[in-house]
Structures are given as C-alpha cells and as structure tokens.
Amino acid sequence: MRIHIWIRSVFGFTVIVKCILAASLVSKPDEKVHDQEYWYEQARISLRKRLQYATDLRPHAKNVLLFVGDGMGVATATAARILRGQRMGKKGEDHDLAWDTFPAVAFAKTFNMDAQIGESSACATALMCGVKTNFETVGLDARGRFENCFSSFSSRVSSLIDWAQESGKSTGIVTNTRITHATPAALYGHSPSRYWEDDSKVPPASRKSCKDLARQLIENDPGRNINVLMGGGRRHWLPKVAHDPEQTKEEGRRLDGRNLIDDWVRDKKKRSLKSEYVWNKGQLDKINPNQIDYLLGLFSYSHMDFEADRDPGPTGDPSLADMTRSALSILLKNPKGFFLFVEGGRIDHAHHYNNAYRALDETLAMETALLAALALVNPTETLIVVTSDHSHVLTMGGQATPRGHPILVRSGICYVLT
C-alpha cells in the first residue's frame, strides 16, 4: 500500500503518523496475541527513530485531511495516472496525479493479525486506530474475535476521530460507500463483525449486548459528535416498515422499529445544535454552511452510484468532490482546526466486479475531490495524507506495448478477478 503525505510546512500530526507506522509493523509469529498497547509502543519506537533524522521540527498540523482509496494499489494508481494523462490528450505515462507531487512517499504492510491478505475493516482499524486486528473485525484489537460479542467489550480501541475531538477539532466523514461500511466504521465503531451494520445482521443472542454500527454512530462517542457525515446506506438507518424516499419499493432493514435518521435529527435538536439532514444533490447544494454545524447526508439506499453512472442532476447523487467541498465549508469554521476523512470507496467495488474502467475512473474521481480540497485549505497548516486501506489485483503487462497506448484497450491491462 502506498502512502502519499503532504507535509509542506508542518512536520506532522503525531496521532495519524502513529496509526500509519503501526499499520505497517510486523509482529513475530511466535509472540502472543497483542493488545493495543503493544502497537502503540511499537509506533513510539518507530517515531523516535525517525525523529532523530528530522532537521526541521515545525508545529503540529492544525488540520488533517486523510484520503483513502479503498483497494487502490500501486498498479491501480499507475493505470489511473496514465488514463488521466490520456484524457488530457497526452501519451499519459509522464502525467502526474495530484498526490504524485507530494514530498513524502511511504509504503505500509496491510496484513491482518490472522490473515496474510487484509480486508477493509481490519486494515482500516490498523490505519486509523494504529492497532493491528483480526480479519473482518472493526475498531478492536486482536483480542476481539469475529462475531463474538463478548470479546468486543475489552478490546475496543480509539481512533483518529476520538483524538481529534479531544483536541477540540471538528470532524467529518465523506464516503461514496455506505457510511456504516467497513472502512469508515473504523473511525467510530467497535464491532466483532463488519457486517453488523444494522440490528438485523446481529445474531439475536447478541442484540441486547452489542449495538450495530448505525446505532453506535448516532448514540456513542465519537460518532454522535461528528460534525459531517456523508455517504450512502439509508437502508441500515430505516425500519422495515419505512420505504426508501428514492427507491420507493425498497424498505429499511432495521428490526427494532427505529428510524435512526429521525433519532439523529432529534439528538441535535435536543442539544441545541444547528443541524440539517439531506438525501440528494439538490438539497446538499442548498445548505448554508454558516447556519449549520452538523450535517447528515445519506444519498442512496446502499452504496452511492459509480461516478460513471451518477445522475448529476438535483435528484441524483453528489460527487465525491461535491461532498468534500460541502464538508470543508462547515469544518473550516472551527478555529481549532478539523479532521476530515474522505474515502473513494467504490474503487474496490469496481475491482470486485472486474471492471477496470470504473476502478480507474473512481480513482480519478478521488483525485478530483483532493484537488477540490487543496483549493480550499491552507497547506501551511494542513497535513494531507493520501493512501489506501489495502490493494487489489490489477496487472499491467505487455513488453511490446508502445508509449501512449490507450490504457483500457487490448494489451494495456490484464485484469484479474479475485
């Protein structure tokens, strides 16, 4: 996994560096199961080593932007870079994506504690909580066991959003997947299964003891204090008796009878917080960021549309760049700064569908969102990290492929289904 970090005039934001370093560390195979303190200490050791070589110690970043391309490995980024150049009328190979010009580049190992090949929830926990964990668990250390509710009680770990809120910063999550999906869930959730997005997915014996991820997001800290939440997945917020406002034939999936969207709105009103809920692009375009401090945007029944399929009209989905701009318009008001997570989550889904075009197009959509953010923030006080939670299979091959060969035509890409 490649990590691009913009540290133009700040040395770093310690907690996010701790997460990235811990995510890349290797444990010895004969050692016992490690809890969170093991990984924190390993990160401190790595940080101290790196600080010995620092010649320009500057203040911590006021703001942090973390862009994660889900499933965006090196080959995906390379092919997307070429595609962007070719769309601009160039040969493509010598083009640079926005993050290619960042001054620092690093790699991270993405294995899970019990798996050689990582998946999103465990990889996101390592990336955003600084702790390696087990396959398909989220927000827990390695003592958490898959689908074991009891194991989650003592294994919960804090995240970048916890630490940002403790510092008085505003926080936000933007994704084009379901907001309760594996990667964003690591920022607020603690679950022995990434699939417990609503209570219908939680085994009946565990429902009284373990909350689903959607409930955690609106009831628990830090989720209920996140200023901006935008993505998809209304189905996990709505009860079975409620029809989706967009896909009217579809019902919610909650079995507890609760409408968590209404609960989110009610909570903000009860605490006298200026808030708004929106569910399409037209409504998002009309918000006045000066009049609200909390925004919930749920733009689709499940995941949001691929950029190639997106309806740009007012009843359609906003783009990743649209959501990023709207999020920043709210978060930038805090004089103490902000932490914003932006996920290009559908890169991974396109890979799962064996769809090279959409995987690369989604990568470029995330770059467009990054460019939108760069136009709004002050780089002298903002730490910008672009990375992935894990890679995915995409192979570029062909010895005789000439410069400028269309990247999506014939021998340009050999795409492997996993």
Catalytic residues: 120
CA–CA separation, 257 and 295 (whole Å): 24
Secondary structure letter of residue 248 according to DSSP? T
Q: Is the Cβ–Cβ distance between 188 and 217 less than 8 Å?
A: yes
- What is the arrangement of strands in the sheet containing 63-69, beginning at the earlier edge strand? 104-107, 2-6, 382-387, 63-69, 338-344, 170-178, 228-232, 294-298, 275-278
Measured distance CA(329)–CA(291) in Å, rounded = 11
Length of the chain: 418
Element housing 264 (H / E):
helix 260-270
Beta bridge partners of 64: 339, 383
Q: Give the amino acid at 318.
A: P
Helix (H, G, I), strand (E, B) or coil at 121: helix
| Burial of residue 89 (number of CB atoms within 10 Å: 0-12, 13-18, 19+) | exposed
Angstrom distance (rounded) from CA 132 to CA 140: 9
DSSP 319: P
Residue 335's CB is within 10 A of a number of other CB atoms, namely 8
Q: Where are the beta strands (DSSP E) in 7-62?
A: none
Q: Is 83 exposed, middle or buried (0-12, 13-18, 19+ CB in 10 A)?
A: buried
Total Cβ atoms within 10 A of residue 95: 17
Half-sphere exposure of 292 (CA within 13 A, CB side): 23
